[in-house]
Structure 1
Amino acid sequence: MTDGRAITEQHFPYDGPHSDDHTTVAAEVIADLVRYLANATRSPGAVTETVTVYDALGSLTTAASRLEQVIGQLATAAARITPPGAASDLTDALHDTRLSLTSFVADLNTAHQVAADL
């Protein structure tokens, strides 16, 4: 099995390049990978061991906590690139989204810890 980080680094090196296009494509890839995971986990052969549940929950917890950071950075960028006050509704909505994600990450982390005991 190939390491997921190596696959990501091959297509999206951590140090860039960073651009509008790369940012958009990275978000699209994340959406497509979640779609893949949703489809795969419907198959009985995709999850046959409890360690798979544990590992998947751990990775999803990490992803969700990183998404929380991304949402905050998108709010900062929106405020920076728009005229003063123009993005206030968006930044407010993204702030609320971050708060929801914080709770989600905590719940997901709890599920991950519980899965350790399976």
Structure 2
Amino acid sequence: MMRVLWLCLGCLMLALGVIGAFLPVMPTTIFLILAVACFSRSSPRLEKWLLDSPTYGPALRAWRDQGAVSGKGKTYACLGMAVGYILFWWGAHPSWPLASAVGVFFLASAAYVLTRPAPREPGPDRKPGQ
């Protein structure tokens, strides 16, 4: 029963990640990271499929193995948060307390992303993904 629940949750996270690939204000990678985590508990085949993806596999493996985010990933994440906040401000016309709370959340999220280490290059004694 739990395996089916993890599989369904993984499929939901994968669907949200795919949607995020096409919508500029919705993240992609975080949903794919969550999908890999769910699939690791339910479907090794789907987990491997995501980790071997030429597009997202390197970032997912770097996060999983090292807790690392590339410089490009950090840049896109911070830009995405900035654009998201601007669209929120412009579209929702929030009160000052709400705008401040959302701003603090985005700043804390950006600080977390920016403090993650850069991925280490695989050395001659390490295979990619190790």
TM-score normalized with structure 1 length: 0.47
Q: Which structure has greater helix proportion?
A: 1
* Greater RCO, 1 or 2 (C-alpha within 8 Å, sep 6+): 1
